Amino acid sequence: MLHNRCGHRGTLVVAEQSGQASRFRCPYHAWTFRNDGSLQSIPCREGYDGTDFPQNDSSLGMQPVARVGVYRGFIFASLAAGGPDLSSFLGPTTGAIDNIIARAPAGRISFEGGVFRVRHASNWKIYLENMHDGLHPMIVHQPSIEPARAGSRVMPPPSGSTAFALDVIAANGQSYQAMGKLPVSLFPYGHTEMAAFRSNPAATGQFAAYREQLVALHGTVETDRLLGDNRLSTMFYPSASVQATSLQMRLIIPETVDSTLIEIHSLRLLGAPDSLWQRTVTLANTVHAPSSLVKHDDFAIYARVQDGLKGDSLDWIDYRRGINDPSTSLSEAYIRNQFVAWRDYMTAQ
């Protein structure tokens, strides 16, 4: 993995979101780099005669990032030469990746179907601080919960993917009591994980054949464990989150103090029935997209927090909630856990 910067004048070498290339060519002065980043050729090299321009040196190449690690095909990069190794860093978060891959009958997954990219007018921390917030859905999402509930009550009742989407949107209307039963786990390095309102629904109804595929591979006990493994969102602090149940992955990319880019990817379980993938697509469209009825009210709140914090009437933001019961979605313990990691990063020598 390389830094996307020409060794000459600093130009961004590659502008594409994805693709393949046998070499990289800077569009400014045609410096050309091998795939390992080393400098392959430059035009009019004699112009450097009389200088100490290196002949066979990687110092002017596209620089490799400091460290790269791979966990089951997921590539992680760190810009810091020091710090924990990938295995220590990930800790129990790998359970979400393991679960998703095990649910794929082919034992592999792919990123498919397109990517949503959304720009938030707020700091990245505000986004992360909503990640496991069980106190806001019944308030912030009331404008989508109520129409979704009404939509489920019409006659004849909606079916298929529509019923599923409305059901997921309406599920935000859980009581505080129900939210208080949703477990949140705190891990080292700021990582966290929250359970879903219900276990993976793909085990029932039209997905019975899929379940049989897994039973043939893993046996009944292990299949029930895999499908019952209840993970709404797993936060890889601070730059990614995986929604194991709904098969999405989000990348959190800070741009400026008040701008954050979120990439929303959909994960396909290879070997599973097409209908399962199509439900993932429906979920992406209706719940995760920038046009989702749910997300809009979240985005708007993040921007309101960003705007409100421009006032300096108070020195502190209050994250005390749930100090005695840090293990549910009604506690702000997961935010405190993020700040412990942030403090450690900011004070590391």
Partner 1 sequence: MTDVAQFLFAPAKLLDSGAYDAWLDLFTEDARYWVPAYPAQTDPINEVSLYYENLALMQARIGRLRHPRAMGLPVRTSHLIGNVMADGQTRDGALIYRSRFQMIEFVGDAQRLYGGGVTHHLVADGDSWKIRQKRVDLVNAGGIFDLLQGFF
Contacting residues toward partner 1, per CB under 8 A: 112-119, 121, 140, 142-144, 146-148, 150-151, 154, 158, 162, 165-166, 169, 261, 266, 274, 277-278, 281, 284-286, 289-291, 293, 296-297, 299-301, 304
Crossing angle (nearest 10°) for helices 208-218 and 220-228: 120
What angle separates helix 142-152 from helix 293-308, to the nearest 10 degrees? 170
Backbone φ and ψ for 112, nearest 5 degrees, come out as -140, 170
For partner 1, give the closer residue by CB, 195 or 284.
284
Size (the chain), residues: 349
Residue 72 or 119 having the CB closest to partner 1: 119
CB of 142 to partner 1, least distance (A): 5
Angle at 106 between CA 102 and CA 112, to 5 degrees: 90
Smallest distance from partner 1 to CB 173, Å: 13
- Residue 129's nearest CA partner among 346, 347, 325, 317 is 317
At its nearest, how many Å lie between partner 1 and the CB of residue 246? 13
Q: Which long-range contacts does 27-31 make (Cβ < 8 Å, 24+ apart)? A: 31/6, 31/7
Helix (H) or strand (E) holding 251: strand 248-256
Output the smallest distance, CB 276 to partner 1, in A: 11
Q: Tell me how far, at minimum, the Cβ of 342 lies from partner 1, in Å.
A: 26
**Among 142, 186, 175, 148, CA closest to 322:** 186
| Inter-residue contact 237 to 190 (CB < 8 Å) | yes
Query: 118 or 217: whose CB is closer to partner 1?
Result: 118
Minimum CB–partner distance for residue 267 and partner 1 (Å): 12
Least distance in angstroms from the C-beta of 124 to partner 1: 15
Q: Which is nearer to partner 1, 150 or 323 (CB)?
A: 150
Helix (H, G, I), strand (E, B) or coil at 172: helix
**Distance between CA 246 and CA 223 in Å, rounded?**
17
Q: Which is nearer to partner 1, 174 or 331 (CB)?
A: 174
Which of 296/321 has CB closer to partner 1? 296
Pairing of strands 233-236, 192-194: antiparallel
Whose Cβ is closer to partner 1: residue 26's or residue 287's?
Answer: 287
Cβ proximity to partner 1: between 6 and 100 the closer is 100
Closer to partner 1 by CB, 193 or 297: give it. Answer: 297
Closest distance between partner 1 and the C-beta of residue 157, in Å?
9
- Amino acid letter, 214: L
Rounded to a whole number of angstroms, the minimum distance from the CB of residue 44 to partner 1 is 37
The residue whose two tokens read 């039209």 is 206
Q: How would DSSP label each residue in 58-115?
A: GGGSPPBPSEEEEETTEEEEES-SSS--HHHHHGGGHHHHHHHHHTSTTS-EEEEEEE
